[in-house]
Amino acid sequence: MSRADRYSGFREFADANGAALSRAAYLLTGDHQAAEDLLQEALARTAMHWLRVEAGGNPAAYVRKAMLNQMRSWRRRRTHGELLGGAPDRPARGDVAHEVAQREVLAAALASLPPRQRAVLFLRYYEDLSEVETAHRLGCAVGTVKRHSHDALVTLRRLSPGLSNQSTTAEEAQ
């Protein structure tokens, strides 16, 4: 039987873009299991409307938007309290183990943020959208984006001391 069925394009798309979409899902959640849930949910929604999505010409954008929408509807899964005390001592620069540990702490801190704040960080710092574009994408005011970004960075700085204080302070000043 042919595998070149109506969903062969979907399979090809998902396989070709799986890694990139997985990176986005991970940054949107900070948690592997949640990232898998998020991406799979978005892919299932995409599969249901594949012909229309494919005809739209940008399935990857559709999946990313589906992830953002889905994530915003999820309730927070963790509390800040789970992370306190998790930050390691800061060892010498270039220490790979330290970098890994720092990323783990950052991921955990990221996972602790409200979904809206994570979405803002993703759009601002991964997709490089402006505050205006981010606000448009999320359907909120620019001021809301600024507030979410500020609050997120403050929280991350508090929970992940490895982050540059200087840089987050700069963001606060905006």
Partner 1 sequence: MNDDFRNVYRELADDARNYSDPERALAVGRRRRRTLLAAPALAVAVAVVAVGTWVTVRPSVPTGTPGNQATEVTTAASSPVPTLSPPPTAPALPPGAVGRASFAYAGCRSGCPGLAVVGDRQFIIPGQERNPGSSAMLLSLSPDGRWLGYPAGDGYVVRDLTGTRTMAFPPSESGRRTAAWFWSADSKRLLVSDFREGNDNTYTLVDVLTGSRTPAVMPAAGTPLALTNEGEIVSRARDQQPEPVRVLTLTVSAIGDATGRSVTIDASAILAQNESLLPGSVLVDPDAGGYLLGVGTADGISTGVLRVAADGRVVERVVDLPRDTRNREFWNVLGVNGDGLLLSRQTNDTGRQATTVVAVTGKALRDLVALPHESIVAVPGASAR
If binding is defined by CB under 8 A, does position 123 make contact with partner 1? no
d(CA 81, CA 87): 13
CB of 31 to partner 1, least distance (A): 11
Pick 15 or 139: Cβ nearer partner 1:
15
Q: Identify residues 144-173 at the interface with partner 1 (CB under 8 A).
A: 153, 156, 162-164, 166-168, 170-171
Backbone dihedral region for residue 57 (phi beyond 0: left; psi -120 to 50: alpha; all else: beta): left
**Cβ contacts of residue 61 below 8 Å, gap of 6+?**
none
Q: Which stretch binds partner 1 (CB under 8 A): 2-10, 72-80, 90-98, 136-144?
A: 2-10
Backbone dihedral region for residue 87 (phi beyond 0: left; psi -120 to 50: alpha; all else: beta): beta
| DSSP summary character for residue 124 | I
Q: Which listed residue (60, 106, 142, 154) binds partner 1 by CB under 8 A? A: 106
If binding is defined by CB under 8 A, does position 113 make contact with partner 1? no
CA dihedral (141, 146, 149, 154) in degrees, to 10, reads -140
| DSSP summary character for residue 81 | G
Task: Kindly list the residues in this chain that would bind partner 1 in the complex (CB under 8 A).
Answer: 1-8, 10-19, 21-27, 30, 32, 35-36, 39-40, 43-48, 50-51, 55, 102-103, 106-107, 110, 121, 125-126, 153, 156, 162-164, 166-168, 170-171
